[in-house]
Amino acid sequence: MELRFQTLCIWFLCGVALAQNATEPPAPLPVNGSLPTNGSSTTNGTSPVFAPCALDCISREVVLSPCQTIDNTTCVCNDQGFYKQVEKCIMAGCTPREGIATQKAKAEYCHDPVRSQVKMLYGLRSLEIAAWFLVLFRFYARWATRLRYGWDDYIIYIPELVISQLMDDNAFGRDTWNLEWDKIMLGLKAKPLYLLQLGLTKISILFLYLRIFPGRRFKRITYAFIIFVAGTTAALVGGSIVECWPIGYFWEAWNTEYLIHTTKCLNLTAAVFVAAGASIFQDIVMIILPIPPLLKTQLPRKDKIGVSIMFILGLLITGASCFRMQYINVAYSPNPFWDFEPALLWSLVELAMSFLVTSLPAIHSYHTQIRQWAKWANAEQWTISF
């Protein structure tokens, strides 16, 4: 019986979860009650750590799978049907912390290949860095052209230069069980910051509209929509904070239960789609809003080209929001930091393009001023030479 228990513990590690990691795996997450297997070792020479709560799942599901026995190492490590059933059982009977430790042990024992999406994330980081410098250059352009700073300038400062520095999304693109626990907690707390960042960026664009189009009726409509966006943003940010009760249970639940089984949270899938739908609706309205005053305004050809570029970027922002919809249904994923990576990539594209749109007019004014200075300098030089 003791030998059977030890064997069960060893081969359990081969079927608990699907795992591949992105970087050098850190030490296994500590789990109360987890036991090392005797006589087995992982790739780093240590004994795998697993959660005892999963033993019943393994023993029950293995006889129903094609593997039939846990001694069939190849089958147990690679049968996805067996993995899915065991995963469901673990999510029902173990805490997320126990499940993560078990998934890590399985990945090490079965020598699962390393996978990572962080290189793609780092590639898109160039967009974020460019947007960061673009906002700084926007402030310089306002100062250099002696144009007064407006609400659009001050508001864009908050999401790009403040909030973006508080957010740490370097955990994404890796399997959850290969992350330090503090990285997991920090990543789970980033959602309200992202919603606030996106909302403030849109409000900045709307204040930019007010700077460009002086019509009284247009201003009334735009101010009304600013209030709507601000209210929606406040509701979404507040909702993301209190979507589980007590406040903070969204990330603290990872010590107690999987959110798919909790009664202390709202429907997280519905909440995600409501936030995404509200964002797309706001994008569409913001594209339509300046069309009437534009049609009434006689603009030079160069200005029309600039406005057209802004509209194209606005359409791309909306397209990114729509395309992201297919990737956001990961609220109850047992591996959210891997599964959410595609949605995060499109979110970075959306934010970077939004920062670009808000900065284009200031850059255009700076470019125009530079050309005027150049003409003046050439004219003065010609006069002196004459």
Average pLDDT on 178-194 reads 81
Write down the domain spans for the chain. 8-109, 118-376
Of residues 222 and 298, more confidently modeled: 222
Which region among 39-43, 138-142, 375-379 has the lowest average model confidence (pLDDT)?
39-43
- Whether residue 225 is predicted with pLDDT greater than 50 in this model: the reply is yes
Report percent pLDDT > 90 for the chain: 7
- How far lies 216's CA from each of 148, 210, 222, 249, 287, in Å? 21, 10, 10, 47, 19
Token representation of residue 294: 């534009």
Q: Are 42 and 105 in contact (CB under 8 A)?
A: yes
pLDDT at 240 over 90: no
pLDDT given at position 386: 43
Residues of the chain with pLDDT > 70, as a percent, come to 74
Summarize pLDDT for 125-149 with one digit per residue, the tens.
777 777 777 777 777 777 777 667 7
3-state secondary structure 229-256: HHHHHHHHHHHHHHCECCCCHHHHHHHC
Phi-psi region at 364: left, alpha or beta (left = phi > 0; alpha = psi -120 to 50): alpha
Residue 256 has pLDDT above 50, yes or no: yes
Q: What is the mean pLDDT of the chain?
A: 74
**Whole-number Å distance between alpha carbons of 88 and 221:** 50
- Type of residue found at 251: W
Q: Residue 168: is its pLDDT beyond 60?
A: no
At 209, is the pLDDT very low, low, confident or very high (cuts 50, 70, 90)?
Answer: confident
CA dist., res. 315 & res. 353, Å (int): 10
Residue 28 has pLDDT above 60, yes or no: no
The pLDDT of residue 50 is 65
The mean per-residue pLDDT over the stretch 41-59 comes to: 64
pLDDT above 50 for 340: yes
The separation between the first and the last C-alpha atoms of the chain, rounded to the nearest angstrom, is: 107
State residue 384's pLDDT score: 46
Range with the largest mean pLDDT of 34-38, 133-137, 173-177 = 173-177
Taking 60 as the threshold, does the pLDDT of residue 70 lie above it?
A: yes
* Per-residue tokens: 163: 């909030």
